[in-house]
């Protein structure tokens, strides 16, 4: 088959360069356009020398990029950019994968509250599909527009899905009103920009929580948990900044329902993800490390029940730039074009 012509809007940030790294090795993709107003004309490999000999394109300003001639366009941009260009691209038959938040939340009021802007194309939003493959695989196959999940939501949703999905009208496994997600991210989660709190001398040798009173990933997680659960959920979500470049570790707490005390939760998770190429349910007693997924599209999950009591603890690790962003976006592209889901995503994690 002919290669998929790929455009990337916003190729200079961390998620943009991860897309370049992954797609430059993809057997079915052809990089056709990389946009950047500021770096117009600069060879990509001059900025990211790891791509020398792999990516021959130069950055081009959006007006020169001819994105409507692509088969798919990835938006690795700030919020608001994708929705401003979506209708023109869709009219030209181009599929869209947005790594920002324009197509993640179906609740317009919630989107406008958290992202401080009106939605430019509610009609496109209504047809968009949330791109968490392990939950929406079949819908993604037929989608024209995919909203790639946030990094924190990916870990929390996959960590809780086996406990909540399909339970509407059935006996619950956990108390869905008291869920807790204690999450930590590497500094690249803040993007490639010069801000005081992510300078080396500020972030290194330090650890802190942020967004405790409210974080924009919270409504995204809750919206999709409620879809899974078929009813309301209560979630306490606390993100933290850790002094590492990439990686994410989420510790999730769920109170076991008294009627579910005899459930084998390890088996439940193993069966739910048995056929998932990028979800690894680890053996009993495991404590997954962020370095075990570094630069890979794998997510690793460990299930604990301390003292065989009524508290379930789920540990989830991923690379925030790969499964938490660009790798998941490529996974979505593969489904949208009928390719093997793991095409171009076979990278083994980097150790040490």
The span from the CA of 141 to the CA of 335, in Å, is 5
Query: Looking at the domain 4-127, which fold is it?
Result: Rossmann fold (3.40.50)
pLDDT, tens digit, 9 for 90 and up, residues 157-214: 999 999 999 776 678 999 999 999 999 999 988 777 767 777 878 888 899 999 999 9
The span from the CA of 54 to the CA of 221, in Å, is 36
Amino acid 196: pLDDT: 76
Q: The whole model's pTM is what?
A: 0.96
pLDDT, tens digit, 9 for 90 and up, residues 1-37: 789 999 999 988 899 999 999 999 999 999 999 999 8
Enumerate long-range contacts of 205-210, CB under 8 Å, 24 or more apart: 205/243, 206/241, 206/243, 207/240, 207/241, 207/242, 207/243, 208/240, 208/241, 209/238, 209/239, 209/240, 210/239, 210/240, 210/241
Strand order in the sheet with 95-98: 29-35, 4-9, 72-75, 95-98, 145-147, 129-130
Q: Spot the catalytic one: 70, 121, 151, 183.
A: 151
Amino acid 2: pLDDT: 86
Amino acid 169: pLDDT: 67
Instruction: Decide if 4-127 and 152-320 have a common fold.
Output: no
Q: Is 151 one of the catalytic residues?
A: yes
Per-domain boundaries in the chain: 4-127, 152-320
CATH architecture of 152-320: 2-Layer Sandwich (3.30)
The span from the CA of 221 to the CA of 214, in Å, is 12
The b-or-e profile of 58-95 (16+ CB within 10 A means b, else e) is ebbebeebebeebbbbbbbbebbbbbebbeebbeeebb
pLDDT, tens digit, 9 for 90 and up, residues 79-112: 999 999 999 999 999 999 999 999 999 999 999 9
């Amino acid at each position: 088959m002919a290669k998929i012509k790929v455009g990337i809007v916003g190729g200079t940030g961390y998620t943009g360069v991860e897309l370049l790294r992954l797609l430059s090795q993809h057997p079915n993709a052809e990089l056709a356009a990389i946009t950047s107003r500021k770096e117009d004309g600069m060879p990509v490999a001059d900025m990211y020398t790891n791509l020398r000999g792999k990516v021959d394109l130069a950055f081009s300003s959006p007006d020169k990029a001819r994105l409507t001639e692509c088969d798919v366009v990835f938006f690795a941009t700030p919020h608001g950019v994708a929705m401003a260009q979506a209708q023109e691209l869709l009219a030209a038959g181009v599929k869209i994968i947005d790594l920002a938040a324009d197509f993640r939340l179906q609740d317009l009021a919630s989107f406008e509250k958290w992202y401080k802007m009106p939605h430019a194309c509610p009609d496109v939003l209504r047809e968009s599909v949330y791109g968490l493959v392990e939950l929406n695989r079949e819908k993604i196959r037929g989608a024209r527009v995919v909203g790639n999940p946030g990094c924190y939501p990916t870990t929390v949703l996959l960590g809780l899905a086996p406990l909540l999905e399909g339970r509407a009208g059935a006996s619950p496994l956990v108390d869905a009103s008291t869920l807790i997600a204690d999450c930590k991210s590497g500094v690249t989660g803040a993007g490639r920009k010069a801000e005081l709190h992510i300078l080396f001398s500020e972030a290194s040798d330090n650890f802190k929580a942020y967004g405790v009173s409210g974080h924009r990933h919270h409504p995204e997680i809750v919206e999709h948990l409620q879809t899974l659960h078929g009813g309301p959920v209560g979630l306490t979500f606390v993100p933290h900044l850790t002094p590492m470049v990439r990686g994410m570790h989420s510790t999730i707490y769920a109170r076991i329902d008294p009627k579910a005390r005899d459930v084998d939760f390890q088996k439940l998770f193993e069966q739910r993800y048995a056929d998932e190429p990028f979800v690894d349910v680890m053996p009993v007693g495991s404590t997954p490390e962020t370095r075990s997924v570094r630069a890979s599209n794998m997510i690793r999950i460990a299930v604990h029940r301390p003292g065989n009591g009524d508290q379930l603890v789920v540990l989830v690790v991923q690379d925030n730039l790969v499964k938490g962003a660009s790798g998941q976006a490529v996974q979505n592209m593969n489904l949208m074009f009928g390719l093997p889901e793991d095409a171009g995503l076979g990278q083994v994690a980097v150790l040490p």
